[in-house]
Structure 1
């Protein structure tokens, strides 16, 4: 089994415990599972037919990252794994919020996981000039020469605000709005499009019903990639 599946199971349970949600609540309500993931490094170890057994397919399929948690916890809501590269987990949050607003689920467990388990994905990103030769991610710096890979897993439990307040949940934060778009045709497949990114920020502000000058803190995804 891909270690990412095992890690996600553990951290999902930790998030549920922190939210003080008993298992009976998860199974009695429409609970969805949304996961963002980019790499499946563990599958690189299967190089020959003799390496494959009964559990290889389910143990390495991206869809099973979300499916295994729903299976283990008995969740009956929307269950999906999304890969939009570096934005995967945040797009999973976006989709979970949409599902909550649409009434497709009453509770959404949302997570992202990344474990570097093979040198091949690192080599591919090196060849694509994505990783920093100096081992430093100098975001917004003229000396930026790429990013540095990291590992981790994070899971949050989402509810509609009105439901969380009615049930007396400890509310850690409120997602006022979100937006997703694509660069479209830019200077290259992996080259950002300034216009598209500007439009995305404006769309997120509109979704949150706030003005840009009301934003007090920005946590940016700064890869430090040189173009």
Structure 2
């Protein structure tokens, strides 16, 4: 199976442990799983040798199964989906999880992002498009910026409605005040960022959170703008 599936099982279990929630207590509950993932590079390897493809190859390499595998393993009955919006996948997964919690679609949500670099073919595609830094270093918002550098990893968080977390005595590490998602529409190119759309989604997120821009003390950004 795709190593991303295996890594997610491990990291999600660690997240539940950190939250003080026994995984067996979630069996048959409306617990949602929302995972951000993009290119399944494992598929390049799995399909390279046609005679080795078997009945489990499709499920072992499908993006959808990354989330579904966790729901299956923990016997969860809530929404389960893998979200692919390229570099913003995990944040959009978080946005959808928050919406589901507010709409009562689930009582608890496991949100994760996973990315592993396994195929030189994908690197080749990024390189041919001019996206990769020839110096192998990111210089975001710098005059010396010459491209991006790919990375890999996996992270997971456990979300609950704040009132439920307080009721259950859960350790609350942070509160998601608001979020927003949009799309660039037609801009300078399919993969080119649209500054107007970016400003619009920021304003929407501030409005959704009920927070003024001047009250924000810390910002994390993504240099290519997706």
Which category of TM-score, normalised to the shorter sequence, fits these structures? Answer: over 0.9
Match runs of 1:199-210 below 5 Å: 199-210=200-211
Match runs of 1:42-191 below 5 Å: 42-45=42-45, 46-191=47-192
Unmatched 5+ stretches in structure 1: none
Query: For the residues of structure 1 that align with 2:204 and 2:60, how far apart are their CA atoms?
Result: 38
1:22 CA displacement: 1.6
| Dislocated runs of 4+, deviation >6 Å | none
Query: For the residues of structure 1 that align with 2:202 and 2:38, how far apart are their CA atoms?
Result: 23
1:222 CA displacement: 1.8
Asked whether the equivalents of residues 32 and 76 of structure 2 are also in contact (C-alpha less than 8 Å), the reply is yes
Deviation per CA, 1:94-123, whole angstroms, max 9, x where unpaired?
000000000000000010100000101111
Query: For the residues of structure 2 that align with 1:192 and 1:94, how far apart are their CA atoms?
Result: 20
Q: TM-score, normalised by structure 1?
A: 0.96
Query: For the residues of structure 2 that align with 1:219 and 1:151, how far apart are their CA atoms?
Result: 18
Q: Number of matched residues?
A: 225
Cα RMSD over matched residues? Answer: 1.3
Asked whether the equivalents of residues 33 and 69 of structure 1 are also in contact (C-alpha less than 8 Å), the reply is yes
1:30 CA displacement: 1.0
2:147 match: secondary structure: coil
Asked whether the equivalents of residues 28 and 75 of structure 2 are also in contact (C-alpha less than 8 Å), the reply is no
Asked whether the equivalents of residues 177 and 209 of structure 2 are also in contact (C-alpha less than 8 Å), the reply is yes
Counterpart for residue 31 of structure 2: 31
The range that moved more, 45-54 or 161-170, is: 45-54
Unmatched 5+ stretches in structure 2: none
Asked whether the equivalents of residues 137 and 149 of structure 2 are also in contact (C-alpha less than 8 Å), the reply is yes
Query: For the residues of structure 2 that align with 1:177 and 1:11, how far apart are their CA atoms?
Result: 25
Q: TM-score, normalised by structure 2?
A: 0.97
1:111 match: secondary structure: strand
Counterpart for residue 215 of structure 1: 216
Deviation per CA, 1:167-225, whole angstroms, max 9, x where unpaired?
00001110000000011110111111110000111000001001111111101112499
Asked whether the equivalents of residues 4 and 113 of structure 1 are also in contact (C-alpha less than 8 Å), the reply is yes
